[in-house]
């Protein structure tokens, strides 16, 4: 089930027993309070997200603040089928709207950008104050208009909540993709506190105190807002530093990988191919064969020369011996005369 940015009105009861509402009247769609609901019945994961656009002094454009309700924080979820609706709901959403009553184990998370949340004017300040109050509640009701949503889908979600089967949506706590990938932060602690509501409270347009405000109250209010702005500024600077360092590390990693890849390619290109190796082996074999032929020829020539010299010496020796024997022999010559 997926409900995509349906216009919404949120109702809760404050500590004094008075009903409070988070809504934005008028036809300007860019200012509407909306709700998105994601529910995966097969995995029992769910998330409800309220979105309220506000104008901040620290931003030239309108910025949304979010209330995240994770599936595992929902104790009960009731889909009210009655037709009874408060006048503020019918005037904003008409008569055809869904009503979900939520009971949470812990309050929803209020998500803001890494900027100061000081509003531009009083109406915007009241909207932010309502969000801060709602971020401290565990019981509230969401009215929303979404004609294509079936009752069966909502009942399935409510049954899973009643059975305590709901789990958080995967990746829902990762706020880095919000606000144009600049990331968001969870407001908590002193950031959820509201300025003093005394009659002399300074306006949202001016930090200076009015003539009717007590000096102590004015100083406390100014210090509270100063701390808010300083904390938001420091968090924004820290996030910018993280982003810069991350980008530098990614760039360094990319350059290192490119350098390693190029060196490996150069090394691979310098390696001889199979045909080159075969050619080199053939050349070496041919050179070896030629060398052996030369060595054999040299050896044969040497043997032949030695053999010729030996024969010449032997022949000379024999000749000399024959001549000696001839000289030493007595020769008798017999002549036969003819009769």
Output the pLDDT for position 201.
43
**What pLDDT shows up at residue 334?**
60
Q: Report which of 87, 45, 77, 65 is spatially closest to residue 142, judged by C-alpha positions.
A: 77
pLDDT of 108 reads 93
* Cα–Cα distance measured from residue 104 to residue 177, given in angstroms and rounded to the nearest whole number: 26
Distance CA 192, CA 135 (A): 8
Task: Please state, in angstroms and rounded to a whole number, the distance separating the CA atoms of residues 10 and 133.
Answer: 12
Kindly list the domain boundaries of the chain, sorted by start residue: 2-194, 198-271, 273-325
**Two structure tokens written together for 193:** 């506190």
pLDDT tens per residue, the chain (339 residues)? 889 889 999 999 988 889 999 998 888 899 999 999 999 999 999 999 999 999 999 888 999 999 999 999 999 999 987 778 899 999 998 888 899 999 999 999 999 999 888 899 999 999 999 999 999 999 999 999 888 888 888 999 999 999 999 999 888 888 888 988 889 999 888 788 876 554 444 445 544 444 444 555 566 677 777 776 777 767 767 777 777 788 788 888 888 888 888 888 888 787 777 777 778 787 777 777 777 777 787 777 887 888 888 888 888 888 788 787 777 766 555 656 554
Q: CA quadruple 247, 252, 258, 264: dihedral positive or negative? A: negative
Question: In which residue are the tokens 């009874």 written?
Answer: 84
- Are 178 and 133 contacting, i.e. CB atoms less than 8 angstroms apart? no
The reported pLDDT for the residue numbered 208 is 41
Q: Are 69 and 48 in contact (CB under 8 A)?
A: yes
pLDDT of residue 216: 57
């Amino acid at each position: 089930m997926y409900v995509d940015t349906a216009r919404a009105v949120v109702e809760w009861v404050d500590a004094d027993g008075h009903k409070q509402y988070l809504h934005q009247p008028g036809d300007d769609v860019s200012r509407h309070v909306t709700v998105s609901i994601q529910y995966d019945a097969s995995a029992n994961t769910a998330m409800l997200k309220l979105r309220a656009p506000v104008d901040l002094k620290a931003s030239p454009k309108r910025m949304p603040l979010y209330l995240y309700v994770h599936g595992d924080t929902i104790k009960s979820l009731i889909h009210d089928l009655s037709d009874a609706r408060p006048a503020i709901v019918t005037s904003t959403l008409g008569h055809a709207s869904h009503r979900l009553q939520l009971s949470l184990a812990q309050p929803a998370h209020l998500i803001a950008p890494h900027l100061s949340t000081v509003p531009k004017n009083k109406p915007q300040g009241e909207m932010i104050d309502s969000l801060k109050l709602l971020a401290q509640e565990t019981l509230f009701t969401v009215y929303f208009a979404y004609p294509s949503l079936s009752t069966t889908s909502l009942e399935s979600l409510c049954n899973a909540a009643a059975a305590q089967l709901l789990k958080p949506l995967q990746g829902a706590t990762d706020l880095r993709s919000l606000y144009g990938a600049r990331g968001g932060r969870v407001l908590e602690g002193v950031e959820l506190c509201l300025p003093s509501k005394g009659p002399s409270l300074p306006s949202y347009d001016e930090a200076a105190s009015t003539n009717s405000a007590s000096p102590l109250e004015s100083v406390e209010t100014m210090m509270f807002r100063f701390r808010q702005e300083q904390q938001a500024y420091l968090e924004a600077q820290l996030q910018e530093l993280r982003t810069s360092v991350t980008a530098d590390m990614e760039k360094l990693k990319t350059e290192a990988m490119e350098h390693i890849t190029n060196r490996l390619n150069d090394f691979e290109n310098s390696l001889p191919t199979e045909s080159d190796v075969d050619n080199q082996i053939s050349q070496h074999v041919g050179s070896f064969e030629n060398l052996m032929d030369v060595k054999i020829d040299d050896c044969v020539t040497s043997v032949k020369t030695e053999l010729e010299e030996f024969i010449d010496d032997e022949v000379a020796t024999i000749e000399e011996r024959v001549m000696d024997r001839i000289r030493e022999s007595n020769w008798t010559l017999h002549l036969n005369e003819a009769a």
